[in-house]
Amino acid sequence: STTARTAAAAPAETQAAAPAATEAAAAAETQAATEAAAATETAAAPAAADVPAYTILPPVLTEPKDEEPLGSADATVRLKCGDTNAMTSAYNQGLVALRNHLEELSGGTMTIDVYPSSSLGNESDMLDAVSMGTQDMLVTSTGPIPAFAKSTANWAVLDLPYLFPSYESAYAVLDGEIGQQLLAGFDGTGIKALAFWENGYRCTTNSKKEIVHPDDLKGMKIRTMENKVHMATYSALGATPTAMAMGEVFTALQQGTIDGQENPYAIIYYGNKLHEIQPYITQNDVFYSPAVLAISEDVFNGLTAEQQGWLLEASELAKHEQRAIERGMQQMGRKNMEAFGCTVSDVDQAEWIEATKSVYDDASLGIDADLLAKIQAITGAN
Ligand code: EAX
């Protein structure tokens, strides 16, 4: 059981969001240290006017187990959930946390069966399948969401480079009113969006050479998600973006049809082992990539009110744990890749922010300017 793993993540703390709150505070080993640091940050940081409260758990710094994909054999209500990563990834460790809560809340009658590693298809296929009710659930990045439906087109704003300067600022936005409105964009599409989970800060990897400055990317073929904002960002950086689904990336890298790709370490190291063929890794954190946990509206409506309640409660509880697991993987993944022999390079982030600024003014991307302004009022960035 993974309860020990998630329980080790210490109790939740709700605090007034200070966008500048440091990662050091979150990484503090003991609860006391975390509380002290958080209190200091909250008191000292000049937080934006109406920053909502959020909950943050300390990062989970124990290596993930290769969990069993299927839930308890005794459960009668089994929800089939797909994604694009291995069982050791942050998505699937989060789904195991979700399963544990759901089994407990439902007295063992409900469970989650995980279908990892694109076994049910790529993210846009799974969105379609869930909206038609032929697949129960999925966890997906925001990659395919702006193109999914008219009512989710405004999700493009979440893919802007350097939009969220910290995890705390992302949680303040995504767990507040703005996040609720974005999730509600799925209403009527056949999908009920349950919660914002975390894909994480995306970093560039490649097989050719060390990349420290945006200029170093010139002429490189970099795989991006099938997302216009991400593609425009890599164009602005001077690379040649090539969009493809995650399931095709390993082979394309191996065959050399692309030089590199970008993802959080939870995906690069834990979810897809890309570091084995991508020795150069740049910690440039270009996008904070949110993820969404979602269920077919038909399937949700077919549950009793009590069962719906258990699922909603489990989704919320697992959200905080999944994020803590993801943040832990970003730290542990880096150390593990360095130990493996990869070159992990740090950057002067100001240089990268400058090089990607033009994306904010690209009218072809359909960015909702009002929504962007509301987000920036909370994050205090740009
Ligand atoms: O959603 O396609 C991607 O790069 C995503 O980050 C990954 O599949 C997890």
pLDDT tens across 172-182, in order?
A: 999 999 999 99
- Pocket test of ligand 1: the residue of 81, 85, 141 to mutate, having most ligand atoms within 8 Å of its CB, is 141
pLDDT of residue 7: 29
Residue 46 burial by Cβ neighbours in a 10 Å radius (0-12, 13-18, 19+) = exposed
Atom of ligand 1 nearest to the CA of 246: 2
pLDDT of residue 43: 33
In the predicted model, is pLDDT for residue 16 greater than 70?
Answer: no
Nearest to 106 by CA among 253, 301, 284, 306: 306
Residue nearest to atom 5 of ligand 1 (CA): 141
When pLDDT is averaged across residues 13-41 and rounded to a whole number, the result is 38
In this prediction, what percent of the chain has a pLDDT beyond 70? 86
pLDDT of residue 49: 53
When pLDDT is averaged across residues 353-378 and rounded to a whole number, the result is 97
Task: Decide if 245 contacts 226 (C-beta within 8 A).
Answer: yes
Q: Give the burial string for 222-243 (b: 16+ CB within 10 Å, else e).
A: bbbbbbbbbbbbbbbbebebbe
Helix (H, G, I), strand (E, B) or coil at 240: strand
C-alpha 15 to ligand 1 mean position (Å): 30
In the predicted model, is pLDDT for residue 356 greater than 90?
Answer: yes
C-alpha 35 to ligand 1 mean position (Å): 33
C-alpha 204 to ligand 1 mean position (Å): 13
Task: Decide if 59 contacts 331 (C-beta within 8 A).
Answer: yes
- Pocket test of ligand 1: the residue of 158, 230, 246 to mutate, having most ligand atoms within 8 Å of its CB, is 246
Q: What separation, in Å, do the N-terminal and C-terminal C-alpha atoms of the chain show?
A: 43
pLDDT of residue 381: 85
Residue nearest to atom 9 of ligand 1 (CA): 141
pLDDT tens across 197-244, in order?
A: 999 999 999 999 999 999 999 999 999 999 999 999 999 999 999 999
pLDDT tens across 66-119, in order?
A: 999 999 999 999 999 999 999 999 999 999 999 999 999 999 999 999 999 999
Give the integer Cα–Cα distance in Å for 287 and 264.
9
C-alpha 268 to ligand 1 mean position (Å): 10
pLDDT of residue 25: 38
C-alpha 17 to ligand 1 mean position (Å): 28
Instruction: Give Cα 143 distance to the centre of its chain.
Output: 10
Residues contacting ligand 1 via CB (< 6 Å) = 84-85, 140-141, 143, 199, 225, 246, 263, 267
pLDDT tens across 113-155, in order?
A: 999 999 999 999 999 999 999 999 999 999 999 999 999 999 9
pLDDT tens across 323-341, in order?
A: 999 999 999 999 999 999 9
Farthest CA pair distance, the chain: 56
pLDDT of residue 382: 63
Per the DSSP assignment, residues forming a β-bridge with 292 are: 140, 196
pLDDT of residue 274: 98
- Pocket test of ligand 1: the residue of 81, 142, 158, 199 to mutate, having most ligand atoms within 8 Å of its CB, is 199
In the predicted model, is pLDDT for residue 9 greater than 90?
Answer: no
Distances (CA, A) of 252 to 18, 138, 246: 41, 25, 10
In the predicted model, is pLDDT for residue 31 greater than 50?
Answer: no
When pLDDT is averaged across residues 355-380 and rounded to a whole number, the result is 97
Give the integer Cα–Cα distance in Å for 278 and 260.
7
